[in-house]
Chains A and B, each alone.
Chain A
């Protein structure tokens, strides 16, 4: 007999889930509220919650001081560009590892992941010198390639996990029907793995969007994305919390909205293969 869930228990679990959800969401909520306060209200103690003079002056000040549309456009191009380039390279790689594994496939997978453990700053100078030599400093193409390389291990790993869920027999059947390698990947494998590919794309766009080491160090004016935009509002001497909050909200709003609409895909992607 199935265990009965008492109404009390149900209420308790719901309340607990809500409390946990709000706790996780609280920093964003607080940033949102602060962005509408004056600088004085932003630091007031005890903190004010909702009953303050709501103002849009921080957003106006941020708009006036910086080029938000340009930073936004750079962020979109870099995040989407690096993810798509990564997928283009990772799909064949993951296909090979999932369906025609060799003796060293596991080692290669682990080695790929181990590159994520390298401290980024360790390759800073070689990368800057290389970029300078190629004349691509402060360009979007440089960031697209660099972020693609950084996220590639994760993309390959995720796709590898999804591909492994697909029965190899289906691909064999396609081959027997005369499909070449390219047709097999494009017309059979990709449509079947589409939910997995979609969640990989979404997750990597988020990762690339939030990347704040390389995007700040390798850009100055032309390719500076939203991470550099936020960095320009942080100040060690002087209180600009309200303006910083406004800048932060403007920087995270697009990705937050995208995450909101695609959360089903994201959750499915992240839990895929976890429970078997």
Chain B
């Protein structure tokens, strides 16, 4: 009997150690959820370098469209699914998810050369809650003015580095040439919190408007919002493209690349597209800071796609190793060596903007950095607010509310209602939703 027991125990023990050894040989596999954009796809292409440096860790990629990814991640993380070990999330989600206890702090356990202090303070600030960094920025972006230098010259104007909204509107009118299908200004009109919601919220900051006062009362009935929306509608109606209410980032990018926009105010990440091989106007593009109204805030936003670890992950150490590789200082050199300095993900580290090779290769680098530094997510508006976020309000209810508000603004741009009606509707629906949410 005893012998049988011994045999059984040793057999089980042997099997167990064999399976552990097998697991070791195969290594740990981490699953990374990411969005489909140029920088992320490039990272996938460089996975071999990671594998070479960390042979014990296998990487599986799940690439999804932004909104689908958000839906998948929220479902997974709120049910403790544990399907993902590293997830790509935006500046909007980080503070909300961190407060829910869904993310792992990255203050400890990162690689020695990670150098957290090198991160741009404006970007790191948006990803930090109570002194803990909950996501590591992979690339950061702000918004700025991209304009056609030839059309500006033809109009007899010179773009200042830091233009005002009045100048932009006048320049747009002067550049517009309907006969030749040139629109002075292209800007987002498509409804959605990440589309016209982002553009108009950032714009409203420079007009002195805010989403909520200190007591979470909606502020769409304020004169500042009335100024913002009427200025936007007038400018777009005077000099914007036909059907602007349907234009988001991609539609405007297409128009600009085809030479149909005099100016385009949008994400800094677009700079490499409009100066790239697919653009018909690549050698005629200039950059300027997003406009202001002299109130101390500019109309630019701040966003970073960042890598975070859900607390449901069982492979947090391997995940930290991966994030250290993908967002550490050495990654820039890796991309530069393979694809050139202009393709290094921008807007996350101070050291990149001190690198002479990068500054020489990326003509938009200076304006990107200045735009990012000009945005302050912890103090985004002229008047005080109870929230963080420049082009969004970092509360879970925001995305839903801003989608509806964006629809109101888009309707106004399409001419289906007046600015006053749109703002009155926005005020009513926001107040209702916020009351229902218990604010």
Residues of A whose CB lies within 8 Å of any CB of B are: 38-40, 43-45, 65-66, 124-125, 128-129, 132, 137-138, 216-217, 220-221, 224, 228, 231-240
Contacts and interface: CB of A to CB of B under 8 A. Distances in A.
Contacts of B258: 43-45
A126 B71 CA distance: 15
Contacts of A129: 79
Contacts of A238: 36-38, 250, 253, 273
Given A124-B75, A236-B249, A65 B44 contact: yes
A232 B36 contact: yes
A66 B83 CA distance: 19
B121 interface: no
B84 to A, nearest CB: 7
Nearest to A233: B36
Interface stretch (B59-67, B314-322, B348-356, B417-425): B59-67
A216 B72 contact: yes
Nearest to A39: B278
Q: Is the interface of A mostly helix, strand, loop or mixed?
A: loop
A235 B278 contact: no
A39 B80 CA distance: 40
Q: Is the interface of B mostly helix, strand, loop or mixed?
A: mixed
Contacts of B65: 231-232, 234-236
A145 to B, nearest CB: 18
A239 to B, nearest CB: 6
Given A132-B79, A220-B31, A43 B257 contact: yes
B125 interface: no
Contacts of A217: 71-72, 75
Given A43-B257, A65-B44, A221-B60, A234 B81 contact: no
For the complex of A and B, 4 pairs with smallest distance between CB atoms = A232-B63, A234-B65, A235-B36, A40-B278
A236 B38 CA distance: 11
B18 interface: no
B31 A221 contact: yes
Nearest to B69: A231
Contacts of B249: 236-237
B363 interface: no
A235 B37 contact: yes
A244 B100 CA distance: 36
A197 to B, nearest CB: 35
Interface in B83-131: 83-84
B36 A240 contact: yes
Contact of A239 (B33, B75, B79, B253): B253
A221 B80 CA distance: 17
B75 A128 contact: yes
Contacts of A224: 62
A156 B60 CA distance: 39
Given A128-B81, A237-B267, A238-B37, A43 B254 contact: yes
B68 interface: yes
B248 interface: yes
Contacts of A216: 64, 68, 72
Interface in B34-71: 35-38, 41, 44, 60, 62-68, 71
Given A65-B44, A137-B81, A137-B83, A237 B37 contact: yes
A83 to B, nearest CB: 25
Contacts of A233: 36
Contact of B250 (A40, A65, A239): A239
A128 B71 CA distance: 13
B277 interface: yes
Nearest to B260: A45
10 contacts: A43-B257, A43-B258, A216-B64, A216-B68, A217-B75, A231-B68, A234-B65, A234-B68, A235-B37, A239-B254
Contact of B83 (A39, A138, A237): A138
B235 interface: no
Contacts of A137: 81, 83
A124 to B, nearest CB: 6
A40 B273 contact: no
Contacts of A234: 36, 65, 68
A234 B72 CA distance: 15
Contacts of B63: 66, 232
